[in-house]
Amino acid sequence: MRAIRENANSAQKTMRRGEQEAINLRRRRLRISILRGVSVFVICVSIISSLYLWRSGQIETWINSAETKVEDSLVDAGLTVEKIDIEGELQTSVGEIMETAGIEIGQPLLAVNIKEIKERIELLNWVKTATIARKMPDGVAINIVEHQPAALWQVDNKLWILSDEGVRITDQGLEYFSDLPMISGNGADDNLEELMITVSQNMELFDRVETATWVGGRRWDLILNNGIKIMLPENGMEVAWQNLIEFERQEKLLAKNILAVDFRIQDKTVVRLTPEEAARRRLMAKTSGKGEEI
R_g of the chain, CA atoms, integer Å: 40
* Mean confidence (pLDDT) of the chain: 83
Alpha-carbon span 206 to 282, nearest angstrom: 32
Give pLDDT, residue 291: 46
Q: How far apart are CA 270 and CA 20, in angstroms?
A: 105
91 with 164, same domain: the answer is no
Among 146, 164, 193, identify where a domain stops: 146
- Does residue 62 form part of some domain? no
In order, the DSSP letters of 47-114 are: HHHHHHHHHHTHHHHHHHHHHHHHHHHHHHTT-B--EEEEES-SSS-HHHHHHHHT--TTSBGGG--H
Q: What is the mean pLDDT of residues 163-175?
A: 95
Q: Are 230 and 244 in contact (CB under 8 A)?
A: yes
Listed residue (73, 97, 76, 77) closest to 86, CA to CA: 97
Domain count, the chain: 3
Indicate if 121 and 173 belong to the same structural domain. Answer: no
Same domain, 231 and 274: yes
In a domain, 20, yes or no: yes
Expressed as residue numbers, the domain containing 105 is: 78-146
Whether 113 is covered by a domain: the verdict is yes
- Do 133 and 159 share a structural domain? no
Tell me what the mean pLDDT of segment 52-68 comes to: 55
Residue 49 has pLDDT above 70, yes or no: no
Least confident among 57-71, 81-95, 185-199: 57-71
Instruction: Tell me: do 167 and 269 sit in the same domain.
Output: yes
Same domain for 50 and 161, yes or no, is: no
86-98 burial, b at 16+ Cβ within 10 Å, e below that, comes to bebbebbeeebbe
Query: Is 90 exceeded by the pLDDT of residue 17?
Result: no
Task: Compute the half-sphere exposure of residue 262: CA atoms within 13 Å on the CB side of its CA.
Answer: 7
Residue 77 has pLDDT above 50, yes or no: no
What gap in Å lies between CA 199 and CA 184, rounded to an integer? 17
CB burial of residue 150 (10 Å; 0-12, 13-18, 19+): buried
Give the pLDDT confidence score for residue 32 in this predicted structure.
75
Q: Looking at the DSSP assignment, which residues form a beta bridge with residue 101?
A: none
Mean pLDDT is lowest, of 105-119, 122-136, 272-286, for 272-286
Q: Model confidence at 60, in pLDDT bands (50, 70, 90)?
A: low
Q: Is the pLDDT of residue 25 over 80?
A: no
Average pLDDT (217-227) is: 96
244 with 170, same domain? yes
Least confident window among 140-154, 164-178, 259-273, 275-289: 275-289
* 253 occurs within a structural domain: yes
275 with 167, same domain: the answer is: yes
Per-residue pLDDT at 168 exceeds 70: yes
Residue 269 DSSP one-character state: -
- The fraction of the chain above a pLDDT of 70, given in percent, is 73
Do 282 and 154 reside in the same domain of the chain? yes
pLDDT tens for residues 85-115?
999 999 999 999 999 999 999 999 989 999 9
Q: Which residue has the higher pLDDT, 51 or 269?
A: 269
At 29 the pLDDT is 74
pTM higher than the cut 0.85: no
Domain assignment of residue 72, yes or no? no
Asked whether the predicted pLDDT for residue 289 surpasses 70, the reply is no
Q: How much is the pLDDT for 279?
A: 76
The confidence score (pLDDT) of residue 74 equals 47
Task: Convert the pLDDT of each residue in 251-280 to its tens digit.
Answer: 999 999 999 999 999 889 999 998 787 677
The pLDDT of 43-51, averaged and rounded, is 67
pLDDT grade, residue 242 (50/70/90)? very high
Does residue 293 fall inside a structural domain?
no
